[in-house]
């Protein structure tokens, strides 16, 4: 029987980046994912909701301070602040499958807004970093928080395997 894996708080294994998220419960679910995995969360505006302290408390996000890294007003602000990180841009239009992607500690996994996905210009700029989650043809895309969960746990699986002696 496999040995159970316990994640321990240390340097964040990943940063999950949501670009212009519009649906508060999706962002809340991603924040919970960050809380249980040790990942950090970056939000890139404009947002479709408020992240004011009183609104977060009302939503039950009492662990926000443990997961939230930064808010960037624009995508350009985020890219300038994190110019040297390894990025994986998730899109249904990408050529590289999640199963072929190579994840490493410290990577940033970037996801677009619920109605629009990532901007085309960003996907073109970092075309070699695009990743898609395999799905049956002619199906609608996954829910944002579901897609982030799938991608994050595959990345964590790979990071854990790489860290073994």
- Tell me the domain boundaries of the chain: 14-133+143-163
Residue 164 pLDDT class (50, 70, 90 cuts):
very low
pLDDT digits (tens, 9 = 90+) for 25-63: 888 889 989 988 999 999 999 998 887 756 655 555 667
Tokens for 16?
């999950």
What's the pLDDT at 165?
44
Kindly tell me if the per-residue pLDDT of 83 is higher than 80: yes
Tokens for 119?
């901007």
Q: Which CATH superfamily is domain 14-133+143-163 in?
A: SPOUT methyltransferase, trefoil knot domain (3.40.1280.10)
Tell me the DSSP string of 98-143.
TTT----TTEEEEE-BTTTBS-HHHHHHTGGGEEE----TT-PPPP
Strand partners, 70: 42
Strand partners, 16: 41, 109
Kindly tell me if the per-residue pLDDT of 87 is higher than 90: yes
The whole-model pTM stands at 0.89
What's the pLDDT at 40?
94
What's the pLDDT at 53?
58
Residues 93, 82: Cα–Cα separation, whole Å: 24
């Amino acid at each position: 029987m496999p040995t159970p894996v316990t994640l321990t708080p240390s340097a964040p294994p990943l940063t999950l980046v949501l670009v212009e998220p519009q649906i508060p419960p999706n962002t809340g679910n991603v924040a919970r994912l960050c809380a249980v995995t040790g990942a950090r969360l970056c939000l890139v505006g404009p947002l479709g909701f408020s992240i004011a302290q009183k609104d977060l408390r009302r939503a039950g996000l009492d662990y926000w301070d443990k997961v939230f890294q930064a808010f960037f007003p624009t995508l350009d602000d985020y890219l300038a602040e994190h110019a040297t990180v390894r990025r994986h841009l998730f899109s249904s239009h990408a050529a590289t499958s999640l199963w072929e992607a190579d994840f490493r500690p410290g990577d940033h996994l970037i996801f677009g807004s619920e109605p629009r996905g990532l901007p085309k210009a960003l996907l073109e700029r970092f075309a070699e970093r695009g990743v898609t989650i395999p799905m049956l043809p002619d199906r609608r895309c996954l829910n944002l928080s579901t897609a982030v969960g799938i991608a994050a746990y595959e990345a964590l699986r790979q990071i854990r395997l790489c860290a073994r002696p």
